[in-house]
Amino acid sequence: MDADYLFNQTVEYLKTAQHVVISTGAGISAESGIATFRAPSTGLWSRYKSGELATAEAFKRNPSLVWGWYTWRRMQVANAQPNTAHRAVAAMAQCLPHMTLITQNVDDLHERAGSQDPIHLHGHLATARCFTCSQPYLDTLPIVVDPDAGPLEPPRCQHCEGLIRPNVVWFGERMPENEMKRARIAAFDCDVMLSIGTSGSVAPAVYLPTIAAENGAWVVHINLEADSTAPGNTLIGPATHWLPKLAQALLSA
C-alpha cells in the first residue's frame, strides 16, 4: 500500500477511534541512542552476549557481573533523552478519547516524555527486587559513571538479606501477569493499534497485533522494514518521522 495513502487512512481511523493502543519496542528508544537488546554492547561488555547476562542462571553463577551490566545499562538510559517519537506518543494521548500505551522497553523515556501509566511488559530498569523473596528494593539504585566499571556487588534485601536483582523479565521467565492481562484486554478492545519499533519476534507481545486485527482493529506497524507475517500494514521508516506527523495531523483536526 502506498505510504501516503496508508498514512492518510490511518489518520482518518485515528480521528474516529474510541480506543487506540500504541505498542512500542526497542526501535523507538534506539533513536535516543539506547542500543537494541540484541545489538552488541560496547567497551568492557562487548565480550558478552546479552542473552548470557539476562538469565536467572547467569545471576546465580555471577551476580556481580550481571548487576554490573544492568548498572551500566541504567547509565545508558540516564544519559539518553526522549526523542520526538516519545513526545508524539504523549501528545496523541491528549487528543484521543482513550489511549493505552504498551511497551516492551525497560527504560523510562515514555514517562519522561509525558506519557502516563504505560504498561511495561518486560519490567522496568529503574526498579529492583530481591532474587530470593521478590520484595521490592526501595533504596536508590546505583548508576556508574565509568562505562568500564565492570562487575559490581548487588545490594542486599532489607527483608531477607538475599541479593537484589533488576526488576526486568529475563529469558526463561514469564511476563508479569497483571501487565499481560491489561495488554490483552486493550488489544481485544481497541479499534486502532499502532505497533512501533518492534522486532516481531518476542512472544507473547508479538501476538497483540493479531488479537487486535482479529477483533476488527485497524493495525499499522511503524518499522524500518516490513514484516510479511505481521497482520496489518507497515509505514516504513523511523518512528521519529511518522509519529510526529500523526500527532500533528490529530492536533490539527
The cell for 209 is 497485533
Backbone angles phi, psi at 136, to 5 degrees: -65, 145
Of the candidates 19, 122, 159, 241, the residue annotated as catalytic is: 122
The neighbour count for residue 216, using CB atoms within 10 Å, is 9
Where helices occur in the chain by DSSP H, the ranges are 3-16, 26-30, 50-53, 56-61, 63-79, 84-93, 109-113, 177-189, 208-214, 239-252
* Cell, residue 71: 548498572
Tell me if residue 110 is catalytic.
Answer: no
Neighbours of 168 (CB within 10 A): 18
DSSP 3-state of 98 = coil
How many residues belong to the chain?
253
Which residues are designated catalytic? 122
